[in-house]
Structure 1
Amino acid sequence: MTPEGGPRFTNRLIAETSPYLLQHAHNPVNWFPWGDAAFERARRDNRPVLLSVGYSTCHWCHVMERESFEDLEIARFINEHFVAIKVDREERPDVDAVYMNAVHLLGSRGGWPMTVVLTPQRQPFFAGTYFPARDGDRGAHKGLLTILGELADLYRTDPERVVATARRVTERLQAEAAPARPGDLAGPDAIRAAVVNLARRFDPVNGGFGGAPKFPTPSNLALVARYFHRTQDPQALTILARTLEKMAAGGIYDHVGGGFHRYATDAAWGVPHFEKMLYDNAQLAVAYLDGYQLTGRADFAGVARETLDYVAREMTDATGGFHSATDADSPAPGGDEPEEGRFFTWTPAELRAALDPEAARAFAAYYGVTERGNLDGRSVLHVGAPLASVAATLGVTPAQLDATLGAARATLFDVRARRPPPLRDDKIIAAWNGLMISAFARGAAVLGEPRYLERATAAAEHVIGRMLDGDLLARTWNDGRTRSAGVLDDYAFVAQGLLDLYEAGHDVRWLREAITLQAAMDRRFLDAANGGYFSTPAGDAGVLTREKPDYDGAEPSGNAVALLNLLRLEEFTGDDAYRQAAERGLRAFSRSLTRGGGVSLMLCALDYLLDRPLEVVIVSVAPGAGAALDAALRTSYLPNRIVVQATEGEDLARQAALVPLVADKRVLSGRATAFVCRGRVCEQPTGDPGQLAAQLAKTEPLFEVAPAPLPAPVRGR
């Protein structure tokens, strides 16, 4: 800081909108944002490029900034020998994906912060992740200063070697990104093989798949749910229900404020890494809604509701869009140094200070708050025993304990709100907003909550009104400004959100917007030769390769969501071109689908294609008159279906202009009427909710002959 209290250094990042880039705007490093200007400078000065990629809620990104990028000696060396570029991976996922592949090719494990050294032609010749500042720090043989010194010397003294390495890596990146030739369309056996693999990896004690660290994998849960729906294999339902209940009981779930943390550091979901990501909470809210529909368990509906309420309360911008994330770290009251999880953890003394003695004792017993704690002397809240068991130990009834815990949670929420909160990344990302629009729309439809429909609608208004200009959907918006052109995920996830919003709220505008966005996505990203979609548009010289993503990560595959959207659009519009495009896409990824692992959501798209999806139309004489039929629909798990609800008259005519199958539907016998069809072959129209529920319960089997039961988990995995 200057004597006047202002920042001592300011670099080019000060003009950016990303909170992560703005965090680095006063580093002594002369950071450039990603763009032509940085590479032109590198070419002019004949310097290598130091590319540092991270995100605002990344713990080790903060550590590397404090240790290295705020160190004057290291900053001076970087400024003299490199052109330094800082990238927010959430703002430029295309850049992040290319150079993360380079990290792997050069023999390092992936992660963030990502540290890559490039030629001025954007070709990588060195890659890694976090590096401590100096030799010996944190037990490292070499620190960042030494590594950069060696790389600067190499670039100066042996440029031919640098160019050869960079060219070799780039050629491998381009070869791996080259589209595969289409193959045969996969069949039901591919779906079963993937679910069998998940069943073997299933943790029967703690739920989830594999061991520590343990991540929520909503795409895997979606596939398992569909498999149960189509086969009625009880082990599939066990996998889904056990995972949902154990995550909700664990420390990965915020028992005071709702919502989920990023992942658990242990196999039992006990101690999380505490950042909260919008995309996790969107997908997990949907997973719990699915679980509720399949099991009828009110606790699953409760978790979905608390998660949506958390996002509505703490992650919603005044414009209606949703913010991206909150950090894992926050300072203790009166402290300056951030501590991981400080905001979310408790001690017995803090409980006694906030609650009456009986409530403090009950809360500590149920949520595992001890003097020793399980994280640096503090306790991450988690449920270790059933409510009835803890109630018996305390000598109260389960109902009494439940009431005590509910009141205590409300009190502790208010107490916690007075603590210094974690940093919130308030940029609005199109793709993640699309996922959250879907979650709120699904929540409105399944839980019958009009306020969730209002949230979904407001977010859709924000994205379409502020982030879309013709064919160009912006990736991010913050403080009134957009940044970066959207990638495939942005278009696909927003289109999915609009389709879900149309089904939940019956406003045909959103179907029209989804059709328009799909056409824009086709023009920008479609691989017309092979099927499927690239992640970036043609002619983008800013990245080395055009990826065609098929694997699910923390976010679902953009291609998988795009193919599901196409199949739904064909059902709505009757335009077979959508189905043909979806089938071409599935053929383009046939090799990945038959290999099985990591493509769960694309296998859900395959399941949709192989099924005869339900077409459900409810026509009523006035808005709300079909509420009883809607209630029957609400509790039915129907993954492969479309739903259209219309009011006779102008509304039905507007919808029929885009959805031909409603054109001939009319109210019968003066009351709301439901029409349930498969492949345009319809059941008897009905106004009776019980009869509608029976019609909806009919399922097309995935296999002509029932397959063998799913295997038991492999022990020790």
Structure 2
Amino acid sequence: MSNRLASATSPYLLQHADNPVDWREWGEEAFAEARRRDVPVLLSVGYAACHWCHVMAHESFEDQTVAAAVNGRFVAVKVDREERPDVDAVYMAATTTMTGHGGWPMTCFLTPDGEPFHCGTYYPREQFLMLLDGVTEAWTQRREAVTDQGASITAAVRRTSAPLTPDLVDDAVLDRAARLVTREADPARGGFGGAPKFPPSMTLEHLLRHHARTGDPTALSVVEHTCEAMARGGIYDQLAGGFSRYSVDAAWVVPHFEKMLYDNAQLLRVYLHLYRTTGSALAERVVRETAGFLLADLRTPEGGFASALDADAGGVEGLTYVWTPGRLAQVLGPDDGARAARVLSVTPEGTFEPGSSTLQLREDPDPVWWARVRARLAEERASRPQPARDDKVVTAWNGLAIAALAEAGTLLGSPAYIEAARECATLVLRLHLVEGRLRRASRAGRVGTAPGIAADHGDLAEGLLALHQATGEARWLEAAGDLLDTASARFGDDTGGFFDVADDAERLLSRPRDPTDGPEPAGQSSLAGALCTYAALTGSPRHREAAEAAVDAAGGPARQVPRFAGWTLAVAEALAAGPVQVAVVGHDDADRAALERTARGATAPGLVIAVGEPDAPGMPLLADRPLVGGRAAAYVCRGFVCDRPVTTVQDLARQLAG
């Protein structure tokens, strides 16, 4: 018998729809029931691709004894953290306050007023049963202590919503941030820190932009080393492209196998910009393969992109992806099997579990041989149990994908990437904009009820602005401007900062905001970046000032913990560099195409490009910029200073290099 989750749009909630636990979705109805029964709320937060969420579900939430204890003594609420990041942020703040760390599954016990009084993460079945007994005893026998604890934790959570203190991010701050970050890099294995090791997408983009602005060779070296180490390691799917969420070791050998849209969209863009900077064949290959993964494995029938592939297949983590020497020999024959084992670091001892290995590609094999072997291994792997797909379409993450594919399509000459970005943008604007307000997610063409957060507005606007530059279509610029106006009115404060939720959103314990960048850009930095790009494309001083204020509002993390302010610093590098604006005017001919190729190959931080006929409607950068002597021309500006128009690629290259 299904519980109350059967009608949910979230794949994570639907995974729990047949649990014997009487789950409810987040909402006032659940808390009203808790008040009526005078029992605590058990809040469980996770997401569909989370391995340990599945483990706790199998051990506890599918167990009749556990279900009886939960149903009799609590009101159980299940939340998809990806669909309701606001709820997740509030109670993750409570969890880290109480325990010093967080993660998923997140397990919180709340008063009927929503105040958390005990928080944790994963609990094995027997420990969870004891915890249920302990919480029940405290609630019935020591109620005053419980409510005092809840009030104390709530006060701590509310302090996280305090106004941001602006701190100027100038050239000196940018230089110091780059030095601090490069000093923290792992010189042997790439990346930062030890195990587990996460792809540092935004920090790599920050360092690429810093190198482009200053010529700092150390910044570029860190990016090259880290990108090669990740691309050759087990964290990268050597057969189908795309990156796993993180590496459980410090050398990128064994991944946690879930593959997230937001990671792959950001990494695609980083490798694309590395290719643009260095011409690296490895970086270009990773871009094409990762874009191929997005289009083949994450694209939904409606034209959006699904959130993730699960870490598990058939209930076993990594089952789809690992190999043994014997299996390679069976598939490829003894000679090719032995050669593949050497090339791919597949050993009898195993790198993942005893006897099984992830695939690494520490050197480039013969390309003809590798193309044949790779195709045969991919074919065999497709016959194995496959990971489940979380097919909800999240606004922010699709915005990241739109930006990456639009840029990759223009730089690599791949119209299919641009068309995929266009179809995705069309879907999100058609389905997720409801009565002028943005929603967080949809599934199978049905939009959810959760409102969009700040990052949804910033990341989608960033994607639309990249698509505008790739296609010359005015509608994307107009839509981005509308999103930014809404964000400024509904999410902003008087310091240049942004809350994560709108001023008319559901009232939680606090109005969450976090200026630090995590695995994806914070709402604060995503809006700063989109404001910066929009200002450059339109010449709007108001949006330029808002971008500068948004960067300075996150200046504290940028100064103190620059590795956790990667996108803020990347935006600040763009502002410090101008950013560079290039208008290429001309008829659709070879001369204009040559100037456009030169412009798109430039590495200036935050570079914006407009290409089209003189005074093309809906393209402000092309206004009042005529042909020169009847020929196609390029106009280059930095900030508020413009160079003379040029008509040759040599002159344009010199201006861009300057």
Shorter-chain TM band: over 0.9
Give the match for residue 153 of structure 2: 169
User: Is residue 24 from structure 1 mapped to residue 16 from structure 2 by the alignment?
Assistant: yes
Of stretches 535-544 and 31-40 in structure 1, the one that deviates more from structure 2 is 535-544
Give the match for residue 252 of structure 1: 235
**CA offsets, 1:227-263, max 9 Å, x none?**
2112212111110100011100000000000000111
Of stretches 666-675 and 565-574 in structure 1, the one that deviates more from structure 2 is 666-675
Give the match for residue 572 of structure 1: 537
Separation (CA, whole Å) in 2 of partners of 1:692 and 1:599: 33
450, 467, 481: which one pairs with 1:515? 481
Separation (CA, whole Å) in 2 of partners of 1:166 and 1:539: 25
How far did residue 635 of structure 1 move? Answer: 2.4
8 Å Cα contact 2:600/2:609 also seen in 1:
no
8 Å Cα contact 1:105/1:169 also seen in 2:
yes
Separation (CA, whole Å) in 2 of partners of 1:431 and 1:556: 9
Separation (CA, whole Å) in 2 of partners of 1:404 and 1:28: 52
SS at match of 1:524: helix
TM-score for the superposition, normalised by structure 2: 0.97
Separation (CA, whole Å) in 1 of partners of 2:328 and 2:306: 31
Give the match for residue 311 of structure 1: 294
8 Å Cα contact 1:203/1:209 also seen in 2:
yes
Give the match for residue 383 of structure 1: 361
8 Å Cα contact 1:29/1:78 also seen in 2:
yes
- Which structure 2 residues correspond to residues 84-95 of structure 1 after superposition, within 5 A? 84-95=76-87
Give the match for residue 213 of structure 1: 196
Counterpart residue identity of residue 600, structure 1: G
**CA offsets, 1:395-454, max 9 Å, x none?**
xxx6xx221011110111111111111011011100100000011011112211111100
Separation (CA, whole Å) in 1 of partners of 2:239 and 2:165: 50
How far did residue 346 of structure 1 move? Answer: 1.3
- Which structure 2 residues correspond to residues 368-407 of structure 1 after superposition, within 5 A? 368-376=345-353, 377-384=355-362, 386-387=363-364, 401-407=366-372
- Which structure 2 residues correspond to residues 250-289 of structure 1 after superposition, within 5 A? 250-289=233-272
Counterpart residue identity of residue 321, structure 2: F
Counterpart residue identity of residue 177, structure 1: S
8 Å Cα contact 1:636/1:696 also seen in 2:
yes
SS at match of 1:15: coil
**CA offsets, 1:341-384, max 9 Å, x none?**
11011122222222244332322111112222212221100023
Give the 3 Å change call, closer, same or farther, for CA 638–515 of structure 1 in structure 2. same
Give the match for residue 313 of structure 2: 330
295, 298, 301: which one pairs with 2:278? 295
User: Is residue 454 from structure 1 mapped to residue 419 from structure 2 by the alignment?
Assistant: yes
Counterpart residue identity of residue 484, structure 2: Q
8 Å Cα contact 2:529/2:571 also seen in 1:
yes
Separation (CA, whole Å) in 2 of partners of 1:87 and 1:442: 34
Give the match for residue 150 of structure 1: 134
Separation (CA, whole Å) in 1 of partners of 2:544 and 2:273: 25
8 Å Cα contact 1:563/1:582 also seen in 2:
yes
CA-based RMSD of the aligned residues comes to 1.5
User: Is residue 98 from structure 1 mapped to residue 90 from structure 2 by the alignment?
Assistant: yes
8 Å Cα contact 2:425/2:464 also seen in 1:
yes
Separation (CA, whole Å) in 1 of partners of 2:111 and 2:589: 62
8 Å Cα contact 2:462/2:533 also seen in 1:
no
Give the match for residue 624 of structure 2: 664
8 Å Cα contact 2:44/2:105 also seen in 1:
yes
8 Å Cα contact 1:532/1:548 also seen in 2:
no
Give the match for residue 327 of structure 2: 350
Separation (CA, whole Å) in 1 of partners of 2:213 and 2:545: 24
Give the match for residue 646 of structure 2: 686
8 Å Cα contact 1:324/1:427 also seen in 2:
yes
**CA offsets, 1:181-210, max 9 Å, x none?**
434x23222222222222121111111111
94, 105, 108: which one pairs with 1:113? 105
How far did residue 625 of structure 1 move? Answer: 5.8
Counterpart residue identity of residue 63, structure 1: V
Counterpart residue identity of residue 61, structure 1: C
SS at match of 1:86: strand
Give the match for residue 713 of structure 1: none
Structure 2 residue runs of 5 or longer lacking an equivalent are none
SS at match of 1:655: coil
SS at match of 1:360: helix
Give the match for residue 83 of structure 1: 75
User: Is residue 655 from structure 1 mapped to residue 618 from structure 2 by the alignment?
Assistant: yes
8 Å Cα contact 1:621/1:667 also seen in 2:
no
8 Å Cα contact 1:18/1:478 also seen in 2:
yes
Counterpart residue identity of residue 166, structure 2: P
8 Å Cα contact 1:179/1:548 also seen in 2:
no
Give the match for residue 395 of structure 1: none
Give the 3 Å change call, closer, same or farther, for CA 625–233 of structure 1 in structure 2. closer
Give the match for residue 586 of structure 2: 620
Separation (CA, whole Å) in 2 of partners of 1:405 and 1:516: 48
User: Is residue 497 from structure 1 mapped to residue 467 from structure 2 by the alignment?
Assistant: no
Separation (CA, whole Å) in 1 of partners of 2:422 and 2:190: 34
Give the match for residue 132 of structure 1: 124
User: Is residue 424 from structure 1 mapped to residue 392 from structure 2 by the alignment?
Assistant: no
Separation (CA, whole Å) in 2 of partners of 1:382 and 1:587: 41
**CA offsets, 1:87-119, max 9 Å, x none?**
010111111111111011112421110000000
How far did residue 20 of structure 1 move? Answer: 0.6
8 Å Cα contact 1:207/1:246 also seen in 2:
yes
How far did residue 623 of structure 1 move? Answer: 6.7
SS at match of 2:610: strand
User: Is residue 413 from structure 1 mapped to residue 417 from structure 2 by the alignment?
Assistant: no
Of stretches 603-612 and 622-631 in structure 1, the one that deviates more from structure 2 is 622-631
8 Å Cα contact 1:623/1:647 also seen in 2:
no
User: How many residues get paired?
Assistant: 655
Of stretches 52-61 and 549-558 in structure 1, the one that deviates more from structure 2 is 549-558
8 Å Cα contact 2:341/2:347 also seen in 1:
yes
SS at match of 2:160: helix
Give the 3 Å change call, closer, same or farther, for CA 625–458 of structure 1 in structure 2. farther
SS at match of 1:253: coil
User: Is residue 235 from structure 1 mapped to residue 212 from structure 2 by the alignment?
Assistant: no
Counterpart residue identity of residue 26, structure 1: D
Separation (CA, whole Å) in 1 of partners of 2:525 and 2:234: 30
Give the 3 Å change call, closer, same or farther, for CA 67–679 of structure 1 in structure 2. closer
SS at match of 1:17: coil
Percent sequence identity is 42
Separation (CA, whole Å) in 1 of partners of 2:50 and 2:588: 51
How far did residue 532 of structure 1 move? Answer: 1.6
Separation (CA, whole Å) in 2 of partners of 1:182 and 1:261: 36
Give the match for residue 166 of structure 2: 182
- Which structure 2 residues correspond to residues 580-619 of structure 1 after superposition, within 5 A? 580-597=545-562, 598-619=564-585
Give the 3 Å change call, closer, same or farther, for CA 565–373 of structure 1 in structure 2. same
8 Å Cα contact 1:91/1:475 also seen in 2:
yes
Counterpart residue identity of residue 227, structure 1: H
Give the match for residue 712 of structure 1: none
SS at match of 1:320: coil
SS at match of 2:442: strand
Structure 1 stretches of 4+ moved >4 Å: none
Give the match for residue 191 of structure 1: 174
How far did residue 624 of structure 1 move? Answer: 7.0
Separation (CA, whole Å) in 2 of partners of 1:586 and 1:174: 23
